[in-house]
Amino acid sequence: MNMLLAGLTILVLGDSHMAGHDYLISSLHDALESQGAIVHSYGMCGANPDAWLQKTTVSCGRAERHDKGQPVAETGKQEYTWQIADLLAQHHPNLVIVESADAMGGYGSPELPKAWIYQQTHALAARIHAAIAACVWVGPIWGKGDSPYHKTDARVAELSQFLAQSVAPCSYVDSTRFAKPGEWPTTDGQHLTVNGYKAWGSDIAQSIDQIKSSMASR
């Protein structure tokens, strides 16, 4: 990797994929740090974008990590949600990365809740943009349909395509490009193994490099 991110303060927000010790809060955070960025990562299990805008609770835990420190994860506990306004004021990031998709996918339901998704993503993206911070939104990875999460390939593809059209002014990272369906094994149909999260975190960081490089050349 190059050092396009050196000196930047990066705020990373995520759902359950960021809320476990060996999840993206380790792999993505490390990949960004290795390029010289100052990184503050937050993950909330089950959180959709609205959870960062309205104070509520998450029932399955949350995690945070700052700069070169280790992740602090509290799983299986009811916790209050972190608020984007507070995090922006505290860290003054140059770049905000939002990993948020699965909690909006309506897996197992007949239809994708498009109006609800658009309302939430647009509100969070607009709030970040108002803080004069660049924004990158990370879409969903493949899962397994025959699991308790009912995460089918067709719904993941539909969700990813819709998010790509809904997250402006954020740039979009299409995670379905990183691996074929079933290539990264899961532990439960939705969450990856440790090696899967390492690969995903590295791929996200490389995509952000490409986005930054494209912006710099304009």
Looking at residue 157, its amino acid is: A
**Whole-structure pTM value:** 0.96
For position 2, what pLDDT does the model report?
61
For position 161, what pLDDT does the model report?
98
Using CA atoms, how far apart are residues 179 and 182, in angstroms rounded to an integer?
8
Architecture per CATH, domain 9-216, reads as 3-Layer(aba) Sandwich (3.40)
Alpha-helical (H) ranges within 8-113 are: 24-33, 84-91
User: pLDDT-derived band of residue 217, with 50, 70 and 90 as boundaries?
Assistant: low
Query: How many of the other CB atoms lie within 10 Å of CB of 116?
Result: 13
Q: Is the dihedral of CA 207, 11, 58, 196 positive or negative?
A: positive
The two beta strands, 95-99 and 79-80, are unpaired
Per-domain residue ranges of the chain: 9-216
The mean per-residue pLDDT over the stretch 196-215 comes to: 94
pLDDT tens digits, 80-128: 999 999 999 999 999 999 999 999 999 999 999 999 999 999 999 999 9
